[in-house]
Amino acid sequence: EGIVATTKEIDPIAELRAIPGVDSAALATFETDALAAAEASVALQNVEDFVAANTPPPSPPPSPPSPPPPSPPPNRLVAYDYDSAAPPVGVSAAATNAVLLFAVLFQLVP
């Protein structure tokens, strides 16, 4: 209620022909050019629709690189824990040989 819109199809070329003093040759050229432009516009739209329908969608962006693996846990050494460590190989044998050598030497010396 209030404003009512109406549409009316009007041919602009026919309206221009009705105006006295408009050059009919220029109007004919204008009509030819307008028809060619309209056909080209429709053809271009058809090509754009065809390209859009036949173009695959863009590939998704690459996934971000995976994070680096976690670092290994720190070494858990107990400081001054002499009882838990085995003596190095060869140390106990050398100590035993030294004790035996001293024992033998002290018995031989008067």
CA torsion, ordered 63, 64, 69, 70, to nearest 10 deg: -130
- Please, which pLDDT band fits residue 79 given cuts at 50, 70 and 90? low
Q: Give the model's pLDDT for residue 7.
A: 82
Q: Tell me how many degrees the CA angle 99-103-107 measures, rounded to the nearest 5.
A: 170
Longest alpha-carbon distance in the chain = 155
Residue 42 in any domain: the answer is yes
> Residue 108 pLDDT > 60, yes or no?
no
CB 27 within 8 Å of CB 16: yes
Residue 45 in any domain: the answer is yes
Residue 65 in any domain: the answer is no
* Alpha carbon distance 55, 51 (integer Å): 6
| pLDDT tens per residue across span 35-46 | 999 999 999 999
Three-state secondary-structure class, residue 78: coil
* Alpha carbon distance 12, 27 (integer Å): 11
Q: Give the model's pLDDT for residue 91.
A: 62
Number of domains in the chain: 1
Q: Helices H, strands E: what count in the chain?
A: 3, 0
Q: Give the model's pLDDT for residue 1.
A: 66
Task: Look up the domain containing 25 and give its range.
Answer: 12-54
Q: Give the model's pLDDT for residue 29.
A: 94
Q: Which residue from 32, 36, 39 is spatially nearest to 13, judged by alpha carbons?
A: 32
Residue 44 in any domain: the answer is yes
Residue 83 in any domain: the answer is no
